Structure 1
Amino acid sequence: MPDIGGSTRLYAVLGDPVAQVQAPALLNPVFARLGLDAVLFPVHAPADRLGAVIGGLQRIGNLDGLLITVPHKIEACRYADELSPAAALVNSTNAMRREADGRWYGDNFDGAGFVAGLLSAGHDPRGKRIFLAGAGGAGTAIAAALLGAGASHLSVYDPDPDRVATLTGRLEGSAPGRTTGSAAPRLHDADVAVNATPLGLRPGDPLPFAPDRLPPGSVVADIVMRPRETELLRRAAELGLPVHHGIHMLGHQVALYQRFFRLEPGGATRAAIL
């Protein structure tokens, strides 16, 4: 555990719920390894108070960055002064940093982390047909990254048809003809099926889709990190389908966060020395 004192720089991860977040367990050891006087802590930010929570945190003088998790990734864009091209494309942010002039800059690494995790596990999306459940903040970023990695077709399902239409419309400009929305999960021809919804976080959650409708050999991926073995992954494994755990997405974002927050070995975080 870090030795927290008056000079400690602060980072917060926001979610609703927040008990499942794994980022502190991954990033606080990075701060320690780099010799930084910094700590990342979880903040439960109920959706109806998100603006007040972010506004208050952004006014803390020694708070340098925010990580954003479910369900706030789209709404949090309102509190960034500028978005990276990737975050602007999908209107979703999962990381925000304080700049030298006090402005807040947002980016999104969910998609890059998810694809990197797939590749490291030997599941290259290039040329594959992908089914994606969830057109929220994480789903939009993952969708764009999968298409950027060469997926041949992406079928998106979400119970909110407006979110599906918004996502497919955004992606049509960068990947014309390769994304469709579906009123029901389209699973019969999927090479990879991805749960990008929060379903599985809580005991008793319904399955986001039925893995027994997938063809043999389909990879079933979940972005839920706790529990590690979600009901979806357990059922898929029982059917003999390859499974891909949620922690891979976050694990492959750690190096991206280090660059984004400009963390340098043996020194302070960037904002602390401005």
Structure 2
Amino acid sequence: MQRITGKSRILFILGDPVAHIVGSALLNEHFVARGIDAAVSPLHVAPDDLATTIATLRRLQNVAGFGVTIPHKIRVIELLDEVGARGRQVGAVNFVRRRADGTLFGDNVDGLGFIGGLAKAGVELRGKRVLQVGAGGAGRAIAFALAEAGVAHLQIANRSHARAVDLAAAVAAAYPGCRTEAGPADPAGFDIAVNTTSLGMKPDDADPLDLARLAPSCVAAEVIMTPEMTPFLAAASARSCRIVRGKEMLLAQMQAASDLVGL
């Protein structure tokens, strides 16, 4: 049972919206299981209020740090004092540590969590062909992590093709051994299809990729936590594809996030 007192370290997860967030509950379970005196709560922060909110968090002395989710992962960088190597490479941050003097250090553990979730599910990445849909904050982190993990071919599809082209070029420059390019959201011929967009959170969302082109041999991986079974995963499962839920990514990044915020 979690007992919150004046000695507890407090974390927040900043997002807009926040109704879909389950990471706070999972982090709280992580802290309880390990006897860490800390508690997490989502904060619904509109984009126009992000700077004011972060300025306030700097001054709250029992705040250990905060997580950052849609749509703040990229913009938050300009509001921090220091950004780690992965966060700089990716251009997005998802966890921030508040130091005792109120300065803020942020980094990105999205990619580490995603790769860890795939590994736990027994999915081999080295030498594989991967279609990734999405080039936003989470997508950027995952693209670099996939290339670092040794995939042979990474194709990035995005609603804004120019954004996919920019990300593909950045990943190719960092990991020339991985053939990285921008292309259509067509999973035919790929070993793994990854949705890093928010498509699937709402019932009337469009499909992130051409579901009819999923082969039974393709692994379907998701970053969305709520719902756990997105339309993409449901369609993939119906086509006998192996699926990896978004929750697996979050579970795999619990320790990395705890370490980053000093807990």
Q: TM-score range by the shorter chain?
A: over 0.9
What displacement does 1:36 show?
A: 3.5
CA distance in 2, matches of 1:248, 1:210: 23
Task: Kindly indicate whether residue 181 of structure 2 is the aligned counterpart of residue 185 of structure 1.
Answer: no
**Superimposed CA distance per residue, residues 224-254 of structure 1 (whole angstroms, 9 cap, x where no aligned partner):** 0111111111111111111110000000001
- Corresponding residue number in structure 2 for 1:16: 16
Given the two structures, how large is their TM-score scaled by the length of structure 1? 0.90
- Which residue does the alignment assign to 1:61? 61
Task: Confirm or deny that 1:218 pairs with 2:237.
Answer: no
| TM-score, normalisation: structure 2 | 0.94
Deviates most, 21-30 or 62-71: 21-30
Q: Does structure 1 conserve the Cα–Cα contact (< 8 Å) formed by 2:186 and 2:213?
A: no
For residue 229 of structure 1, what is the amino acid of its counterpart?
M
**CA distance, structure 2, for counterparts of residue 208 and residue 48 of structure 1:** 28
Cα distance between partner residues in 2 of 1:50 and 1:202: 24
For 1:121, the aligned partner's letter is A
**1:24-73 Cα shifts (integer Å, max 9, x gaps):** 21111233334343211011112232222222222322211111112211
1:18-167 aligned within 5 A: 18-167=18-167
Superposition deviation, residue 6 in structure 1: 2.9
Which amino acid in the other structure matches residue 180 of structure 1? Answer: E
- Quick one: which amino acid aligns to residue 251 of structure 2? G
Stretches of structure 1 that go unaligned for 5 or more consecutive residues are: 264-274
Long gaps (5+) in structure 2:
none
- What is the identity, as a one-letter code, of the residue corresponding to 2:182? G
Summarize the Cα distance change of 1:30–1:242 in structure 2 as closer, same or farther, 3 Å threshold. closer
- 2:174 alignment partner in structure 1: 174
Identity of aligned residues (%): 39
- Counterpart CA distance in 2 for 1:122 and 1:8 is 37
Amino acid at match of 1:89: Q
Letter in 2 for 1:179: T
CA distance in 2, matches of 1:147, 1:10: 35
> 1:156, 1:187 → 2: CA distance?
11
Counterparts of 1:239 and 1:116, CA distance in 2: 25
What is the CA–CA distance in structure 2 between the aligned matches of 1:77 and 1:7, rounded to whole Å? 29
| CA distance in structure 2 between the aligned counterparts of 1:7 and 1:162, rounded to whole angstroms | 48
In structure 1, C-alpha distance between the alignment counterparts of 2:251 and 2:222, rounded to whole Å = 14
How far 1:146 moved relative to its partner? 0.5
Equivalenced residue count is: 262
Secondary structure at 2:92 match in 1:
coil
Cα distance change of structure 1 residues 81 and 162 upon mapping to structure 2, 3 Å threshold: farther
